[in-house]
Amino acid sequence: MSDHEEILPGQGLHIEKMPGHWLLAQMGKRVLRPGGLELTRRMLDALTIVPTDRVVEFAPGLGVTAQLVLAKSPSSYTAVEADDAAAKRVQGYLSGDNQRCVVGQAEHSGLPDGCATVVYCEAMLSMKTPEHKATIIREAKRLLVPGGRCGIHELALVPDDIDDPTRDAINRALSQSIHVGVRPLTVSEWKALLHREGLTITAQATAPMHLLEPSQIIQNEGLAGMARIAWNVLQNPAARQRVLAMRRVFRQYDRNLAALMLVAEKGNQ
Ligand SMILES: C[S@@+](CC[C@H](N)C(=O)[O-])C[C@H]1O[C@@H](n2cnc3c(N)ncnc32)[C@H](O)[C@@H]1O
């Protein structure tokens, strides 16, 4: 393991209070988005990144998707990550003047207008208020050149006409177990969010939300990763309780939760 790979966000926080994604990272999990690597690959396929692309990623986390994108040799890669430790880790995967990870908020990235042909983010918007969701999509659009592509990979509520009490119960249960406010939208609402900001949807896919199911953990982290996570969780009763509580909520609401990826295009004017 190289130096930067030892850097993990959440260090020094109490297990009981830590955001769920950093708890999972501390336990050895590296893929922290709802649809796993499979849905990430479908998003990247639809974004069709080629060597002439200038790519911006919001919230790269531990840099798993960053590495997949860098393998496509884009002309530039810029990440905007709120967490210092995560940003350092991502920076460790980067090299040269055209690749960087800045510590900052996607809402106001500080990057110039039209600096990107592709902007994407995964597992970040679901944790934002409706206003912040819109601000972040507006920021993505501002960074895009006309004709540029925008990808998101988030948690969705199903069906589209889910009733308010069920929605409220899910938001409450997710937020209580993950310790971060979580407000997923339905598939139609996610599409409307991009549409309202002037983006045209060009691709869409859903997958079951099986982030903590053993089969998906093995698919995403490999057998050695699964063993590492299981060992760490068994060694730490407080973490074990929290991971099991998160999985209980995901299983309880399995029928009403899905992972969603959308790709959209900014028009030419
Ligand atoms: C659930 S993790 C997902 C990480 C990664 N995208 C993945 O899918 O594995 C959420 C990430 O969003 C980052 N984040 C939260 N709010 C942010 C913001 N306003 N701007 C940039 N990054 C943010 C967190 O620091 C964390 O890295």
Task: Please tell me whether residue 89 adopts helix, strand or coil conformation.
Answer: helix
Rounded distance from Cα 264 to ligand 1 centre (Å): 20
How much helix, strand and coil, in percent to the nearest 5, is found in the chain? 45, 20, 30
- What domains sit in the chain, N to C, each tagged with a CATH number? 3-266 (3.40.50.150)
Residue 133 in this model has a pLDDT that exceeds 70: yes
Contact 264, 194 (CB under 8 A): yes
Contact 262, 191 (CB under 8 A): yes
Determine the Cα–Cα distance for residues 186 and 118; give it in Å rounded to an integer: 24
pLDDT digits (tens, 9 = 90+) for 137-159: 999 999 999 999 999 999 999 99
Residue 258's pLDDT band (boundaries 50, 70, 90)? very high
Decide whether any atom of ligand 1 lies within 6 Å of the 106 Cβ: yes
Rounded distance from Cα 243 to ligand 1 centre (Å): 19
Task: State pTM to two decimals.
Answer: 0.95
Decide whether any atom of ligand 1 lies within 6 Å of the 155 Cβ: no
pLDDT digits (tens, 9 = 90+) for 106-119: 999 999 999 999 99
Residue 100's pLDDT band (boundaries 50, 70, 90)? very high
Determine the Cα–Cα distance for residues 77 and 222; give it in Å rounded to an integer: 27
Distances (CA, A) of 69 to 20, 40, 120, 229: 25, 11, 11, 25
Rounded distance from Cα 2 to ligand 1 centre (Å): 22
Decide whether any atom of ligand 1 lies within 6 Å of the 24 Cβ: no
Residue 4's pLDDT band (boundaries 50, 70, 90)? low
Rounded distance from Cα 140 to ligand 1 centre (Å): 15
Task: Please tell me whether residue 195 adopts helix, strand or coil conformation.
Answer: helix
pLDDT digits (tens, 9 = 90+) for 11-70: 878 888 899 999 999 999 999 999 999 999 999 999 999 999 999 999 999 999 999 999
Decide whether any atom of ligand 1 lies within 6 Å of the 55 Cβ: no
pLDDT digits (tens, 9 = 90+) for 228-237: 999 999 999 9
Q: Beta-carbon neighbour count of residue 16 at 10 Å?
A: 11
Which residues in 9-94 belong to E strands, given as ranges?
54-58, 76-81
Residue 5 in this model has a pLDDT that exceeds 70: no
pLDDT of residue 219: 95
Determine the Cα–Cα distance for residues 112 and 34; give it in Å rounded to an integer: 30
Query: Candidates 88, 122, 124, 221: which one to mutate for ligand 1, based on the most atoms within 8 Å of Cβ?
Result: 124
